[in-house]
Amino acid sequence: MVLLTRFLAIAHSTMNIEDGPTMRPQPSFICHLLRITDMAEDRTRWDLDWEKVFKILKDPMKVYRLLLQGRPMLGEMDKGAIDTYCAALREAQKTAFICAHCFRAPEFKLDKLWQLWDDDKRLQHMFAGLEFACESSPLSQDARVLCPEGRREAFVDLVRKFIISAGQTPPYALPFPFPDPWWQQLAREFPKPQPEAYIAMTLIRQEFIANFITGVYVSVEDVYDKCNSDAIMDAIKDCGRAGGSYQAFGM
């Protein structure tokens, strides 16, 4: 998407993004193992296949062990790798917060439009968000198994929860946590300190959610152009000049 490229280029240039994770995206281990339809072949079947996976993998410990089996490098994370993931997540969350704010801002009314569209139209934008999140993740499509929030949940509710989580965190404490009872129950099963693999998966999970929000928002703005693109770009630049803080929006 032309707008996606322009949006992220401006957002990145104003937020001083550091180098991302060194572990480059790889073919999906889970898609191969569970014979999930290729997204490029049929996005609807791909999504339905993932719905079946979520029903099978309800236990987060099973998800954890499955990812360690297919991605053994997650069990070999050192402090440098964890710090790199933290930096990538911090910047992904800054961008996603701007998108979430613009999506819900009264002057743009995109959240109202979202409610008016039928399920098929909303689903197409959610596919765009999922595709962007998968392509941006070092685990590729495998990262989706960490994010039941990426299912057909009401997107506006997800955006609202994201803004609330961001608003409870001071700028210097970024990245901020995006809690979920499903994933938090796994933390209780580990002794302190928690293993690096769990920390890495948590960071990757959080980044996937942030990029999902960004991808959906940009798809909506790109296709329907219902809001003032120049105003959004000005908001992004203002946020960057304010240090990338969501408090630039008075939240």
Mean pLDDT of 225-250: 46
Mean confidence (pLDDT) of the chain = 77
| pLDDT band for position 16 (cuts 50, 70, 90) | very low
pLDDT at 221: 82
Q: What are phi and psi of 9, to 5 degrees?
A: -65, -45
What are the boundaries of each domain within the chain?
A: 2-14+25-249
Mean pLDDT of 210-215: 93
pLDDT at 246: 35
The alpha-carbon radius of gyration of the chain (Å, integer) is 18
pLDDT at 244: 39
Q: Which long-range contacts (CB under 8 A, 24 or more apart) does 180-186 make?
A: 180/148, 180/149, 182/60, 182/148, 183/60, 183/146, 185/60, 186/60, 186/61, 186/64
Q: Which of 17-26, 74-83, 90-99, 117-126 has the lowest mean pLDDT?
A: 17-26
Mean pLDDT of 213-218: 91
Q: By C-alpha distance, which of 90, 237, 84 is closest to 169?
A: 90
H, E, C per residue of the chain: CHHHHHHHHHHHHHHCCCCCCCCCCCCCHHHHHCCCCCCCCCHHHHHHHHHHHHHHCCCHHHHHHHHHHHCHHHHHCCHHHHHHHHHHHHHHHHHHHHHHHHHHCCCCCHHHHHHHCCHHHHHHHHHHHHHHHHHHCCCHHHHHHHCHHHCCCCHHHHHHHHHHHHHCCCHHHCCCCCCCHHHHHHHCCCCCCCCHHHHHHHHHHHHHHHHHHHHHHHHHHHHHCCCCHHHHHHHHHHHHHCCCCHHHHCC
Alpha carbons 165 and 177: distance in angstroms, whole number? 7
pLDDT at 227: 47
Higher pLDDT, 152 or 21: 152
Mean pLDDT of 23-34: 74
> pLDDT digit string (tens) for 33-92?
999 998 888 988 998 999 899 888 888 999 999 999 999 999 888 889 899 989 889 889
pLDDT at 191: 73
> pLDDT digit string (tens) for 98-114?
888 888 887 777 888 88
Alpha carbons 246 and 137: distance in angstroms, whole number? 23
> pLDDT digit string (tens) for 180-211?
888 888 888 887 788 889 989 999 999 999 99
> pLDDT digit string (tens) for 127-173?
999 999 999 999 999 999 998 765 655 688 888 888 888 777 666 56
